[in-house]
A and B are shown apart, each in its own frame.
Chain A
Amino acid sequence: IYDRAITVFSPDGHLFQVEYAQEAVKKGSTAVGIRGKDIVVLGVEKKSVAKLQEERTVRKICALDDHVCMAFAGLTADARIVINRARVECQSHRLTVEDPVTVEYITRHIATLKQRYTQSNGRRPFGISALIVGFDSDGTPRLYQTDPSGTYHAWKANAIGRSAKTVREFLEKNYTEESIATDNEAIKLAIKALLELLESKEIETLVTEIEKEKEEEAEKKKQKKST
């Protein structure tokens, strides 16, 4: 039945479906966005794929138009829908007003779409947060973030997904005029922010793997020498 609302208020004023959607976002792999002086950087955590899986089919940074890109955290399938709608809107805007979209416009369009799904019958909210970057016609770099509730804000730097809090704290400490002075510096800052994540588990497991491999190689060489 498509006549029943799924996202309804709780007695204490919460929209639980939206909050649950935000939880889904927190489970997704991290994405970080940084606005520099003449550059905008998007970085995403590359989830290690299964052995038989073709790596290159996992695309988390998508172009919406020649001058706007977005990265997302959360349900990949939901993201595909949002991205497609945004791409169509980018062309539609060009067709009707003969101008490319501003970053704010397309962000607002995506956010409005998300909000609509928090107030429609039979539908659930999109389980993604998006980081939208680009340059307006006047050359100003922009970074926006949207979330399942349909709100959007402009940011100097932000992160979404799994370790968003850690990365954001890192950015709050390290985003300074100097750290984004040049394009390269801004890119380095994004990479450094993502490296923050690799701290605990992954680097250690990788290190253990490498050490094991070295041992095995040494064993093989020894055996060869003796025969």
Chain B
Amino acid sequence: MEYLIGIQGQDFVLVAADNVAAHSIVKMKQDQDKMFKLSDKILLLCVGEAGDTVQFAEYIQKNIQLYKMRNGYELSPTAAANFTRKNLADYLRSRTPYHVNLLLAGFDETDGPGLYYMDHLSALAKAPFAAHGHGAYLTLSILDRYYRPDLTRDEAMDLLKKCIEELNHRFILNLPSFSVRLIDKDGTHDLEKLIPVGAK
């Protein structure tokens, strides 16, 4: 039901998430923000079991901040991703696993932009583009076809819009709006919400 997508460019990462918080067949909230700011240049996009998502994401968020206070500098995106994965893995074989699917997007001063795909079985993969949810089945092929590593910000945005349009066209559920954010060397930037218009 929920949808996450991330696209990495040469010097940025573009991410988007749908805004619906549903319980069974009812849309409880239409402006839910599923992105969590782990630090100035790292975003965690989190979907899955209600409650688990916020609980897990906020726990990671506060631990990343604690690292900053203790050490005087922030964790790199790679380190943050691996820390998150370790936590997920540890809880997986406990009585209280977290059923969440994540995308971690960040910008590192030395390594540049990075996008990490993580799922509820604690798999971790660094990828140039990734998506979660049923919508991923419809959009990964579009990304396969049109993605290039040297995409400009506008081109990445157009690619993102293509994906959202396809959801609007073929996905059974109506996802009325998507939050969009961009991470680059200057930090996290909020972009305009994407509101797909009418079915094709």
Contacts and interface: CB of A to CB of B under 8 A. Distances in A.
Contacts of A90: 69
Select the residue from B62, B63, B69 with max chain A CB neighbours within 10 A.
Answer: B69
Interface stretch (A41-49, A91-99, A187-195): A91-99
B62 A84 contact: no
Contact of B63 (A63, A64, A84, A91): A91
A189 to B, nearest CB: 28
A63 B72 CA distance: 9
Interface in A64-112: 64-65, 84, 87-88, 90-92, 94-95
A94 B69 contact: no
Interface residues of B, number: 9
Nearest to A90: B69
B59 A95 contact: yes
B59 A87 contact: no
B59 A63 contact: no
Nearest to A87: B69
A94 B62 contact: yes
Interface in A38-64: 63-64
Contacts of A87: 66, 69-70
Nearest to A59: B72
A94 B58 CA distance: 9
B69 A63 contact: yes
Contacts, number: 21
A65 B69 contact: yes
Nearest to A93: B62
A95 B59 CA distance: 7
A84 B66 CA distance: 9
Contact of B62 (A63, A64, A92): A92
A195 B69 CA distance: 30
Nearest to A64: B69
B69 A91 contact: yes
Interface string B59-76: 100110110011010000
Contacts of B69: 63-65, 87, 90-91
A95 B70 contact: no
A90 B62 CA distance: 9
Contacts of B72: 63
Contacts of B66: 87-88, 91
Interface in B33-77: 58-59, 62-63, 65-66, 69-70, 72
A91 B61 CA distance: 9
A146 B72 CA distance: 24
Contacts of A91: 62-63, 65-66, 69
Contacts of A88: 66
Nearest to B69: A87
Contacts of A94: 62, 65
Nearest to A84: B70
Contacts of B62: 91-92, 94-95
Nearest to B59: A95
Contacts of B59: 95
A95 B65 CA distance: 11
A86 to B, nearest CB: 9
B181 to A, nearest CB: 21
21 contacts: A63-B69, A63-B72, A64-B69, A65-B69, A84-B70, A87-B66, A87-B69, A87-B70, A88-B66, A90-B69, A91-B62, A91-B63, A91-B65, A91-B66, A91-B69, A92-B62, A94-B62, A94-B65, A95-B58, A95-B59, A95-B62
Given A91-B62, A95-B58, 11 more contacts: A63-B69, A63-B72, A64-B69, A65-B69, A87-B66, A87-B69, A88-B66, A91-B63, A91-B69, A92-B62, A94-B62
Top 10 nearest A-B pairs (CB, nearest first) are A91-B62, A91-B66, A87-B69, A95-B62, A91-B65, A87-B70, A95-B58, A94-B62, A63-B69, A87-B66
